[in-house]
């Protein structure tokens, strides 16, 4: 895992703080502790250093600030701005604004960011969208609360803000916080999404309405559906109204449709899965399974993120045929099927989206998820987007997602099209004119 920089102690108005870039989303308030406070400032939406300087503001960014009795959130945030200037040159792969963390407060670790639309909140507060991101990596260096969001995701978040929704964006367990990241393990990712919602609602009940929506892409689609699956048992206090998922990753082995394969035979994703806890008990270690040729990609996975892994693979000529000491099919057979779910009736409607030019999670695989959720009586509306790739499908689906959430807010019953879904063909050609459609 990537290493955290040691927090720097600073003094603000006689109070000692430990500066730390993480935004911990532990639901301390839920456990009876007053741990959360927030303070806002108009800033540009933080993007990663791969965003080529693109801006996505304005909006109000709220970083989570822990404080003790007698210290206001405004005091802590002011200290954060002062500390930011002093520590700017010492930060590495971390996004502004800076988080001030009261070192005396101990909470279970989740991390992420909370964004509010610019201006005053409406009566009752803004509805809240919980965003679940796609694959970034398993190293702490990949946490969006450290690096900022990549342009595709920043654009998506910005569109929700522009339309009057607050957005809470979890990093997931193990990204930006202690311990390993359980990559694609939907139970853990779903809890991270719900804990982020709890933290946001408890921190600002006067500005955020008890009206929660979940949306996720790719890895985040599994987190979104996973959070919906466990919401009633794990977080009955979360007022979840509806869920959107695109680039569908979940698998349903007991569903009515079984595609020829659900495997993703990629050195990138397979290596991340092995590092993220998918190797079955008794299997060789990831170090034993990766060949000498493949070692650079394993090093990149541990120290950096998916784009760097792809760069290393291209530069070193690492492929599915030479990355492991065994054939890819044998390595895949050693992995626990962590994306598997058992379909059941869920308590909220779902909008599911598939780009028909998706070659990462092919449309037939995504159709199997839709068919499984429909078969048990869920209220599902499946939208397909001709020419949209895995990346392009996220923002292509935004107008439908916005109309879907707005309809639910207005008390409308979403229309299910389960009786009309049909099996798609193989991925089509990528279209021009669709944002981020690489």
Q: Which structural domains are found in the chain, ordered by start? A: 8-246 (3.40.50), 267-333 (no CATH)
CA pair distance 394, 436, nearest whole angstrom:
9
Q: 315 CB contacts (<8 Å, ≥6 apart)? A: none
CB 339 within 8 A of CB 231: no
CA pair distance 438, 436, nearest whole angstrom:
6
CA pair distance 195, 352, nearest whole angstrom:
23
pLDDT tens across the length of the chain (438 residues): 232 222 222 222 222 212 122 333 333 223 222 222 223 333 334 444 333 322 222 333 344 322 222 222 222 222 222 222 222 222 222 222 222 222 222 234 668 899 999 999 999 999 999 999 999 999 988 999 888 899 999 999 999 999 999 999 999 999 877 888 999 999 999 999 999 999 999 989 999 999 999 999 999 999 999 999 999 999 999 999 999 999 999 999 999 998 887 778 899 999 999 999 999 888 899 999 999 999 999 999 999 999 999 999 999 999 999 999 999 999 999 999 999 999 999 999 999 999 999 999 999 999 999 999 999 999 999 999 999 999 999 999 999 999 999 999 999 999 999 999 999 999 999 999 999 999
The DSSP annotation for 181-226 comes to: --TT-HHHHHHHHHHHHHHHHHH-TTTEEEEEEEEEETHHHHHHHH
What's the whole-model pTM score?
0.79
Give the HSE-up count for residue 193: Cα atoms under 13 Å, Cβ half-sphere.
Answer: 34
> Is the link from the previous residue into 58 a cis peptide, with omega within 30 of 0?
yes
User: In this structure, what are the phi and psi dihedrals at residue 401, rounded to the nearest 5 degrees?
Assistant: -65, -45
Matching residue, tokens 């290493």 = 3
Sheet strands (E) in 311-396: 350-355, 380-385
Give me 3's structure tokens. 């290493």
User: How many C-beta atoms surround the C-beta of residue 414 within 10 A?
Assistant: 18
CA pair distance 32, 306, nearest whole angstrom:
38
Give me 343's structure tokens. 């379909």
CA pair distance 155, 152, nearest whole angstrom:
5
Q: 159-170 burial, b for 16+ CB within 10 Å, e for fewer?
A: bbbeeebbbbbb
Q: Is 277 left (phi over 0), alpha (psi -120 to 50) or beta?
A: left
By CB atoms closer than 10 A (0-12, 13-18, 19+), residue 112 is buried
């Amino acid at each position: 895992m990537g290493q955290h920089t040691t927090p720097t102690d600073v003094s603000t108005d006689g109070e000692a703080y430990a500066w730390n870039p993480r935004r911990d989303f532990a639901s301390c308030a839920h456990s009876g502790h007053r741990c959360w406070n927030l303070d806002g400032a108009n800033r540009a939406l933080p993007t990663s250093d791969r965003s080529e300087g693109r801006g996505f503001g304005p909006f109000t960014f709220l970083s989570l600030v822990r404080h003790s009795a007698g210290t206001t959130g405004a005091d802590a945030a002011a200290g954060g701005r002062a500390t930011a200037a002093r520590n700017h040159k010492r930060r590495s792969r971390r996004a502004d604004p800076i988080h001030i963390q009261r070192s005396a407060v101990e909470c279970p670790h989740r991390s992420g960011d909370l964004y509010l639309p610019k201006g005053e909140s409406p009566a009752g507060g803004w509805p809240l969208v919980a965003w679940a991101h796609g694959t970034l990596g398993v190293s702490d260096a990949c946490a969006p609360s450290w690096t900022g969001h990549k342009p595709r995701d920043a654009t998506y978040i910005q569109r929700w803000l522009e339309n009057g929704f607050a957005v809470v964006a979890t990093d997931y367990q193990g990204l930006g916080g202690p311990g390993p990241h359980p990559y694609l393990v939907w139970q853990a990712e779903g809890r991270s999404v719900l804990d982020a919602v709890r933290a946001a609602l408890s921190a600002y009940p006067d500005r955020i309405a008890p009206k929660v929506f979940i949306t996720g892409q790719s890895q985040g689609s599994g987190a979104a559906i996973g959070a919906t699956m466990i919401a009633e048992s794990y977080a009955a206090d979360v007022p979840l109204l509806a869920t959107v998922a695109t680039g569908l990753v979940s698998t349903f082995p007991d569903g009515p449709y079984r595609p020829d394969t659900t495997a993703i035979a990629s050195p990138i994703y397979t290596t991340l899965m092995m590092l993220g806890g998918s190797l079955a008990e008794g299997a060789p270690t990831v170090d034993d399974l990766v060949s000498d040729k493949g070692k650079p990609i394993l090093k990149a996975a541990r120290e950096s993120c998916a784009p760097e892994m792809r760069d290393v693979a291209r530069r070193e000529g690492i492929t599915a045929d030479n990355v492991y000491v065994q054939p890819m099919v044998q390595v895949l057979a050693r992995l626990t099927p962590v994306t598997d779910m058992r379909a059941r009736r869920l308590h909220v409607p779902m909008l599911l989206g598939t780009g028909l030019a998706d070659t990462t999670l092919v449309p037939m695989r995504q159709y199997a998820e839709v068919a499984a959720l429909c078969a048990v009586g869920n209220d599902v509306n499946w939208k397909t987007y001709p020419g949209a790739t895995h990346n392009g499908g996220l923002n292509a689906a935004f107008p439908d997602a916005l109309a879907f959430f707005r309809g639910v807010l207005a008390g409308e019953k979403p229309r299910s099209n389960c009786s009309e879904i049909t099996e798609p063909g193989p991925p089509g050609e990528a279209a021009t004119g669709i944002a981020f459609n690489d």
